């Protein structure tokens, strides 16, 4: 399973990369806006840190999306162009994919939408788990159903489980077989945590210190 960080913060990305477990980064207009930096410069900076960076178009018509998508793809060969799952987006996905530009079709909330992304040759489809859970639907069921449908037909589009809010989302996506989990930095940090690890380590170190004191020279 690939782990992506869902952030535009260089500090968070550098820290995650130092852990040796980050395979890529997803951004969206909200995340970049939060940083208050130039969009293209920030994408280029992130591309220097990780091999796969989703950068989203803001146009909502076909012409605008392919124009923005081509510009983003030229910024760095680590860029994946992120396109929203609307009819114009699916059309743009088909064109950009035929130009061998990697596309992440985002804002996917149904299996029918995921089928469209696969048919248009998307590299990734991003089902938004947390946002479905927020409206009392089952986000993880969507990931499982997309997995089944893609397997039925051998679609190559990778499932990028997005809008993950806690470690159990990551675990459930892994059990289903999602190709990628993208998560905020704080969720990646939580993956490490277990109270028994901390208690066990404390005891090991105490016993070690005591044994040194008690060992006869
Ligand atoms: C993914 O590409 C999106 O940027 C992200 O996962 C959205 O997460 P949110 O629903 O927590 O904003």
- The model's pLDDT over 23-37, given as tens digits with 9 standing for 90+, comes to 999 999 999 999 999
Question: Do 124 and 96 form a contact (C-beta atoms < 8 A)?
Answer: no
Distance in Å, CA 196 to ligand 1 centroid = 31
Q: Is 212 a catalytic residue?
A: no
Mean of per-residue pLDDT scores for the chain: 97
- The model's pLDDT over 39-86, given as tens digits with 9 standing for 90+, comes to 999 999 999 999 999 999 999 999 999 999 999 999 999 999 999 999
Residue 187 in tokens: 């969720």
In this prediction, residue 128 carries a pLDDT of 98
pTM of the model: 0.95
Q: Between the CA of residue 190 and those of 8, 35, 162, what are the distances in Å?
A: 19, 23, 16
Distance in Å, CA 162 to ligand 1 centroid = 6
119 ligand 1 Cβ < 6 A? no
- The model's pLDDT over 106-161, given as tens digits with 9 standing for 90+, comes to 999 999 999 999 999 999 999 999 999 999 999 999 999 999 999 999 999 999 99
pLDDT band at residue 214, thresholds of 50, 70 and 90? confident
Rg (CA), the chain: 20
CATH number of 2-216, picked from 3.40.50.800, 3.20.20.70, 3.10.350.10, 3.40.50.300 = 3.20.20.70
Of the candidates 34, 82, 186, 193, the residue annotated as catalytic is 82
pLDDT band at residue 213, thresholds of 50, 70 and 90? confident
**Nearest by Cα to 39 from 76, 8, 6:** 8
> pLDDT over 70 for what percent of the chain?
99
162 ligand 1 Cβ < 6 A? yes
Question: Do 5 and 18 form a contact (C-beta atoms < 8 A)?
Answer: no
């Amino acid at each position: 399973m690939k782990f992506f960080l869902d952030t535009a913060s260089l500090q968070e990305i550098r820290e995650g990369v130092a852990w040796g477990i980050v395979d890529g980064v997803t951004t969206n207009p909200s995340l970049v806006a939060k940083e208050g930096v130039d969009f293209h410069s920030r994408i280029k900076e992130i591309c220097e840190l990780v091999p796969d960076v989703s950068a989203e178009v803001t146009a909502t018509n076909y012409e605008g999306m392919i124009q923005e998508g081509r510009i983003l793809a030229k910024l760095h060969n680590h860029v994946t162009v992120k396109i929203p799952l609307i009819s114009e987006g699916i059309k743009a996905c088909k064109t950009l994919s035929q130009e061998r530009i990697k596309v992440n079709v985002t804002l996917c909330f149904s299996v029918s939408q995921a089928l469209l992304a696969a048919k248009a040759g998307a590299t990734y489809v991003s089902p938004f788990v947390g946002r479905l859970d927020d409206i009392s639907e089952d986000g993880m069921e969507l990931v499982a159903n997309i997995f089944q449908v893609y397997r039925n037909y051998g679609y190559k589009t990778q499932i990028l489980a997005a809008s993950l809010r806690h470690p159990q989302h990551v675990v459930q996506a892994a059990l289903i077989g999602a190709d990628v989990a993208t998560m905020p930095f704080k969720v990646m940090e939580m993956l490490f945590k277990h109270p028994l690890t901390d208690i066990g380590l404390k005891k090991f170190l105490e016993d070690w210190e005591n044994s040194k004191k008690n060992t006869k020279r």
